[in-house]
Amino acid sequence: MRRLVRAAAVLPALALGAAACGSGGSKPAPAPATSSPPATSSPAPGSQPPSQAGAAGTLVAVNGSKLGMILTDSQGRTLYLFEKDTPAMSACDGACASAWPPLTTAGTPQAGTGVSAADLGTITRADHSMEVTYHGHPLYYFAGDHQPGDTNGEGSTAYGAGWYVLNPSGNKIDND
């Protein structure tokens, strides 16, 4: 009798499972549409900036800040120059690049409104990533900036030289 009860309980479950699979003659149902946006390499506002290669065609923009009009990325995160760099080479790697992540790209950097496309360029870093430059200056984020528009790295002398926000002309903004 117990076998019959077990069989009676199992058979409907098997039938339901077979029905859910459908017959071989029908077409599979299309995947449900989602409303989630596609994933991007840009972090959410308030998170640490990216330290790995950015999206192809990384955009450099101009935004207002407490220091005036400054260079930012497309999310409004402040970009900095490092006075120890040369136009052809970054002097910031290792621990320096952890504190000051470079603005990298996988393609040709794009100029936003107020940015001179002729002044945008790239250099190849020691790790073979492409760092965006503006007016000959390799560009960096500061890990201590937590919100778009923060300029907490302005005037720092970490890693042996000054760190400064840039104006749209590509010159440092010296807030001293």
- Using one digit for the tens of pLDDT, what is the confidence trace for 73-92? 999 999 999 999 998 899 99
Which domain range does residue 119 map to?
Answer: 59-173
* Domain contains 34: no
Q: Euclidean distance between the first and final Cα of the chain, in Å?
A: 91
Domains in the chain, number: 1
0.85 surpassed by pTM:
no
Find out whether 143 and 78 touch, Cβ atoms under 8 Å.
Answer: no
Find out whether 151 and 66 touch, Cβ atoms under 8 Å.
Answer: yes
* Domain contains 125: yes
Q: What is the pLDDT of residues 4-40, one digit of tens each?
A: 444 444 444 434 444 444 444 443 343 433 333 333 3
* Domain contains 164: yes
Give the residue from 15, 5, 20, 94 showing the smallest Cα distance to 51. Answer: 94
Residue 100 sits at the vertex; the CA angle it makes with 96 and 101, to the nearest 5 degrees, is 105
Task: For residues 113 and 110, give the distance between their C-alpha atoms in angstroms, rounded to a whole number.
Answer: 10
* Domain contains 46: no
DSSP 39: P
* Domain contains 65: yes
